[in-house]
Structure 1
Amino acid sequence: MILENNEEKRSTLWRTVLTVSSVIIIIVAAFFIIKLFTSNPLEGTWVSEDSGAMIEIGDDGEMTMTGMDAEGTEQDVTAEYFVDTKNKIFTIQTEAYGQAEGVLSGSYDYNVEQDTLTLTEREYGDQMVFVREE
């Protein structure tokens, strides 16, 4: 057995094992707590329930919107976005990428419930509902 008849060495070894395992548990818990409160809740791929348009939101401040234009052809639009998690405001800017004003450009109040994202236009109150794609 480990350190058979030496009670002092067994006690020291046991305290060392407990201390190391406690530190590891605290580090893992701190990592998950920090990740929970600092991550982007909108990150991922979202599909519109109405139009079938798809929004891919990355963690780098860029997003891609895929949908049908007026002529019925598929169009990809790249945009820059900002998320204010405290006030739950999602701001999209397409002008920086040479796109025309419009195509979701503006500020939205957002709400995420399970796998459903609801964007509410701040000025007019129009809502768009998206479902997270697996």
Structure 2
Amino acid sequence: MIVAKNDEAKRSKLWRITFLVSTALIILIAVYILTKMFTTNPLEGNWIGEDGRYNLKVKSKGIVVVTIPEIAEETSVEVVLPYSIDKENKTVTIKMDEEELNRLAEKSDGQYTTETLQNALAPIVTSFDYSVEQERLTLVEREYGEQLTFIQE
């Protein structure tokens, strides 16, 4: 009886306002959750190669940063590559960026060449079927079936 001092009309009005605010809040939270579930990139994040050949940083804007550990004497290289994802068919295609490879080769002062980078990236620059389960990313090459496994960092 403390609320609205025994005035039934005021209590009714407060109840309606409370009900409308809570309903609006529930709807906003539901929309947010559904948006996150169906529009986020399932591959986004940092992935460490199980075999140690590659590490991936998948970003949301169609960019993946591939880290090749020890391409030259105790030197790792981060290569920025474009990718496209088809969530419906669960496929991802990582593409080669010649300009980026040329830029990195020039910057390396002769430690590695564009061809060395192309050869090192050859297994990762292709189309894959992907599967993400329990912080484990599995990429299966679509043509030959070779498999790369990554663990989320």
Give the alignment's TM-score, normalised by structure 1: 0.90
> Structure 1: which amino acid aligns with 2:79?
V
Question: Match for residue 135 of structure 2?
Answer: 115
SS at match of 1:9: helix
**What fraction of aligned residue pairs are identical, expressed as a percent?**
40
Which of 106, 109, 118 pairs up with 2:126?
A: 106
2:48 aligned with 1:47: yes
Provide the C-alpha distance between the structure 1 equivalents of 2:17 and 2:99, rounded to a whole number of angstroms. Answer: 56
- Kindly state the Cα deviation for residue 2 of structure 1 after the two structures are TM-superposed: 2.4
Provide the C-alpha distance between the structure 2 equivalents of 1:97 and 1:35, rounded to a whole number of angstroms. Answer: 34
> Equivalences for 1:1-134 in 2 at 5 Å?
1-67=2-68, 68-69=70-71, 73-95=75-97, 97-99=99-101, 101=118, 103=121, 104-133=124-153
Provide the C-alpha distance between the structure 2 equivalents of 1:97 and 1:90, rounded to a whole number of angstroms. Answer: 21
Provide the C-alpha distance between the structure 2 equivalents of 1:96 and 1:65, rounded to a whole number of angstroms. Answer: 14
CA RMSD, 1 decimal: 1.7
Q: Is the 8 A contact 2:138 2:148 kept in 1?
A: yes
Deviates more, 1:67-76 or 1:115-124: 67-76
1:7-34: CA deviation from partner (whole Å, max 9, x where unpaired): 1221111111111111111111111111
Deviates more, 1:70-79 or 1:50-59: 70-79
SS at match of 1:69: strand
Question: Match for residue 109 of structure 2?
Answer: none
Provide the C-alpha distance between the structure 2 equivalents of 1:108 and 1:70, rounded to a whole number of angstroms. Answer: 27
Deviates more, 1:119-128 or 1:10-19: 10-19
Aligned residues between the structures: 133
Q: Which runs of 5+ in 2 are unaligned?
A: 102-113
Bigger fraction of residues in helix: 2
Hey, which bits of structure 1, 4+ residues long, moved more than 2 A?
68-73, 95-102
Q: Which runs of 5+ in 1 are unaligned?
A: none
- Kindly state the Cα deviation for residue 69 of structure 1 after the two structures are TM-superposed: 2.3
Q: Is the 8 A contact 1:84 1:90 kept in 2?
A: yes
